[in-house]
Structure 1
Amino acid sequence: MKQIRDTVWQRRGTSWLWDAEALAQVGTASEVWSLRQFAQATGNWPEDLPSNDNNTMVVAGLDGCLDLLTPADAENWLASEMKDAILSFQEFYDGQAALIFWLPSGTGRITSNSATDAVSWRCAHPYSNERIDFGRVLWGEAHEYPQEILLREGAKSSGLFHLRIT
């Protein structure tokens, strides 16, 4: 998987972030939107974004929602509701804003197959032996993206960045 050390993820595209240091670079806890707020704003986006000098929206709660659903229901919900909301956000801001999903448990839940760059989400108990294929569901197997976010050379992955979901 390609890596990115540039800060473009802080201003453009969609990211799934699990590193607290990286999160602190774009905003504060009081600026984070709930997944419910995000879903309700779909199609009626604010002119001013809450974080990173009006460049970024950080959303928390995606992991909790995925954990409450069966893997099949979670995959269907991601493919319809969440993908539609992400596409709506991208279109409204014409790709000139960053959407970041805060996933504090992401480092242990999002995995990438090094041979294929396929990205998956490990489901929670009682489905912990199942995975949701993020790549197929959210970005249609475009393996040139996502890219692994690194804050500095030699650092562990802070998240995943995708410039434009289609």
Structure 2
Amino acid sequence: MRQTLDTVWQRRGTSWIWDEEARNQVCAASEVWSLRQLLRAVGHWPEDLPSNDNNTLVVAGLEGCLDLLTPADAEAWLGDVIKDAILSFQSHYEGEVALIFWLPSGQGRIKVNPATEAVTWRCSAPHGQEALDFGRVLWGEALDYPQEVLLREGAKPAGLFHLRIT
């Protein structure tokens, strides 16, 4: 998977970030929206975003919602509700701002297959042996796969960044 040291993920596209240092680069904890706030805003997006000089919206709560659903229901909800919210956000702001999903346990839950670059989400108990086809559901395994976000050369990935989901 390609990697990026560029900070474009802080101003454009959609990211899934699990590194607290990375999150702190774009927002204060008090600026993070709940997933409920995001879903309520679909179709009624605010003129100003709360973070990073009006360039970023950081949202928490996705992983908790995924954990409450069965894997089949979680995958359907991810593809129907969350993808629609991402597409609405991208369309409204014309791809000129960033939507970041804050996933504190994402490093242990998002897995990238090195051979195929397929991205999966490891489910929680009692479905811990199952995984959601995260990449296929959200970006259709497009040829422009997401990039791993690096905060510095040689560091572990802080998250995944995708410039535009279609």
TM-score normalised to structure 1 length:
0.99
Q: Deviations over 1:85-105 (max 9, x none)?
A: 000000000000000000000
Q: Give the 5 Å matches for 1:86-165.
A: 86-165=86-165
> How big is the alpha-carbon RMSD for the aligned residues of Structure 1 and Structure 2?
0.5
- Residues 1:60 and 2:63 aligned together: no
Distance in 2 between residues matched to 1:29 and 1:50, nearest whole Å = 11
Conserved 8 A contact 1:117-1:143: no
Conserved 8 A contact 1:2-1:144: no
Q: Deviations over 1:13-64 (max 9, x none)?
A: 0000000000000000100000000000001000100000000000000000
Uncovered stretches (5+) of structure 1, i.e. residues with no partner: none
Q: Give the 5 Å matches for 1:77-92.
A: 77-92=77-92
Distance in 1 between residues matched to 2:96 and 2:15, nearest whole Å = 14
Distance in 2 between residues matched to 1:36 and 1:73, nearest whole Å = 18
Q: Determine what percentage of the aligned residue pairs are the same residue.
A: 73
Conserved 8 A contact 1:145-1:163: no
Conserved 8 A contact 1:118-1:135: yes
- Report the Cα offset of residue 147 of structure 1: 0.4
Uncovered stretches (5+) of structure 2, i.e. residues with no partner: none
Distance in 2 between residues matched to 1:135 and 1:19, nearest whole Å = 20
- Report the Cα offset of residue 145 of structure 1: 1.9
- Give the number of equivalent residue pairs: 166
Q: Which amino acid aligns with 2:126?
A: P
- Report the Cα offset of residue 144 of structure 1: 2.5
Q: Deviations over 1:114-166 (max 9, x none)?
A: 00100000000000000001111000011422100000100000000000000
